[in-house]
Chain A
Amino acid sequence: MNSILIIIGKITVAVLRLFKRNAGNLPGIVLWHLTRGKCCKMFKVDCPIIAITGTNGKTSVTNCIAQLFEQNGKKIIINKEGNNLDTGICSLLLRHCTIGGKVDADYLIFETDESHVPVVYSQLKLETLVVLNFFRDQLDRNGEMETLIQKINGFCKTFEGNLILNGDDPNTARLGRANEKNSNVKYFHAQPYAFATKTIFEASEGRFCPFCGEPLEYEYYQYSHIGKFTCNKCGFGNYSPYITAENIDLEKSVFTADGHTYSPKLNSIYNIYNMTAVAAAAKLYDIPEKVTDNVISNYTINNGRMETFMLGDRKATLNLAKNPVGANMTLRVMNEMQTEKELLFVLNDNIADGLDVSWIWDINFSVFDRVTRVVTSGTRAYDIAVRIKCSGYPAEKITVRPDLDEAVAELAKTEGRKFVIANYTAVQPTRSALKRYSDSHGGNNE
Chain B
Amino acid sequence: MNKIKILHMYADMLDLYGDSGNMEIISYRCKMRGIECEIHKYSIDSEMPDFSAYDLIYIGGGADLEQQHISEDLVKCREGIETAYKNGTFLFLICGGYQLMGKYYRDADGVEIPGLGLFDYYTIAEPDRRKRCIGNVVIRTEICGKSVDVAGFENHGGQTHGVETPLGEVLYGHGNRTKSSHEGYFEKNVIATYMHGPCLAKNPEISDYIICYCLNRNSGTAVELTALDDTLEKDCRQVMIDRLLKN
Contact A382 B63 (CB under 8 A): no
A424 part of interface (Cβ distance < 8 Å): no
B119 part of interface (Cβ distance < 8 Å): no
- Residues of B in contact (CB 8 Å), total 35
Contact B65 A146 (CB under 8 A): yes
Give CA–CA (A395, B231) in the complex, Å.
10
Partner of B235, one of A359, A382, A391, A392: A382
Stretch at the interface among B17-25, B97-105, B210-218: B17-25
A358-B197, A383-B202, A395-B229 known; A390-B21 Cβ under 8 A: yes
B18 CB, nearest partner CB in chain A, Å = 3
With CB as the reference atom, state the residue of chain A lying closest to B235: A382
A102 part of interface (Cβ distance < 8 Å): no
Give CA–CA (A203, B15) in the complex, Å.
10
Contact B16 A386 (CB under 8 A): no
B-side contacts of A143, CB under 8 Å: 129, 132
**Interface 0/1 of A395-429, CB less than 8 Å to B:** 10010100000000000000000000000000000
Interface residue SS majority, chain B = mixed
Which A348-404 residues sit within 8 Å CB-CB of chain B?
355-362, 382-383, 385-387, 389-392, 395, 398, 400
Contact A385 B236 (CB under 8 A): yes
A136 CB, nearest partner CB in chain B, Å = 9
Give CA–CA (A385, B239) in the complex, Å.
13
A-side contacts of B239, CB under 8 Å: 382
B196 part of interface (Cβ distance < 8 Å): yes
A140-B155, A143-B129, A356-B17 known; A382-B232 Cβ under 8 A: yes
A-side contacts of B64, CB under 8 Å: 144, 146
Known contacts A144-B64, A356-B196, A358-B153; can you find 18 more A-B pairs with CB under 8 A?
Answer: A139-B16, A139-B17, A140-B155, A144-B63, A207-B12, A208-B13, A213-B69, A356-B153, A356-B197, A361-B20, A382-B235, A383-B201, A386-B202, A387-B21, A387-B201, A390-B24, A395-B232, A400-B232
Closest 10 CB pairs of A and B: A361-B18, A382-B236, A358-B18, A361-B21, A358-B17, A144-B63, A390-B28, A356-B153, A146-B63, A146-B65
26 inter-chain pairs at a CB distance below 8 angstroms, sorted by A residue, are A139-B155, A140-B153, A144-B16, A146-B66, A147-B129, A203-B20, A207-B12, A208-B69, A213-B69, A355-B135, A356-B17, A356-B196, A358-B17, A361-B20, A361-B201, A382-B239, A383-B201, A383-B202, A383-B236, A385-B232, A386-B201, A390-B21, A390-B25, A391-B24, A395-B229, A398-B232
